[in-house]
Amino acid sequence: MPKNYTQDFLNSLPFSLREEINGYGQSIYAVANDIIKEAGVRFTDELRDQLVFLACVRKLWAKSKTQFWILDNSLSLCRQNNISHIKMGGHLYGCDSEEYNEIRTFLRHFEELLRNLEIYEIIELYSLQEIVLFLVGRD
Q: Give per-residue pLDDT as tens, 61-84.
A: 999 999 899 989 989 998 899 888
pTM for this predicted structure: 0.85
pLDDT at position 87: 84
Whole domain around residue 105: which residue ranges?
4-138
Q: How many domains does the chain have?
A: 1
Contact (Cβ atoms closer than 8 angstroms) between residue 68 and residue 110: no
Identify the burial level of 8 via C-beta atoms within 10 angstroms of its C-beta, where 0-12 means exposed, 13-18 middle and 19 or more buried.
exposed
pLDDT at position 8: 83
What are the pLDDT digits (tens) for 112-131? Answer: 999 999 999 999 998 999 99
